Amino acid sequence: MCFVATVFDGIGTLLGLAVATKAKTEAAYAFNAIGALMIVALVLSTRDIWHEDDNLHKTMRPFWGLALFVSFCAVLLAGFNHVLLENPIIVSTAFDWYQVKESALLQKITVCVLTLFVACAPIALSYQWKHFFADDDEPVPAPKPGDKATV
C-alpha cells in the first residue's frame, strides 16, 4: 500500500510542479517529472538520512526537509487544481486561488488530508523497506568450529 501511495506521490508532485510552473509544453512536463523523481527519491531515503550519523547524511537533512515541504505543497496544488477545480490532467495553467477559496470547506479538508497521507507515503515506505530487508542489515555470525554446515 505504501508503494502505491508513493507512486501517487510522484504523480501528484509532478502535477503540482506543473501547476506551480504553469507548464504548457512537453519539455516543461519532462523537466517537472525529473524534479518530481528527485524529490520523491530524496524523501524515500528518510530512514538512512535520520539514522546515519556521517557527514553526508547530516548534510542531506535540510535538503530532505525542503524536499518533503515541496512534495507536500506540490501535491496540495495538484489536488486543488484537479480535484477541487476539476481541471483535466493536461491543464495546469487555469489554476485560480480565488476559486479554491470559494470552494466548500469539506472539499478543502478532504484534499488536505489526502495530501498529508500521500506526501508522507515515501517516509513510511522507507521504514517498511527496513523490515523487508532486515536480514541485509544484520551481520551474519561466523560459524563456530565443530558446527555442521547448513545449506
What's the pLDDT tens digit per position in 94-104?
788 898 999 89
Q: What is the pLDDT of residue 2?
A: 74
CA distance 68 to 45: 11
Tell me: pLDDT of 138 over 60. Answer: no
Helix/strand/coil percent split, the chain, to 5: 75, 0, 25
Q: What is the pLDDT of residue 133?
A: 59
CA distance 15 to 72: 12
Count CB-CB contacts under 10 A for residue 62: 9
Per-residue cell: 71: 512534495
What's the pLDDT tens digit per position in 20-52?
998 888 899 999 999 999 999 888 888 888 888
pTM value > 0.95: no
DSSP assigned state of 133: T
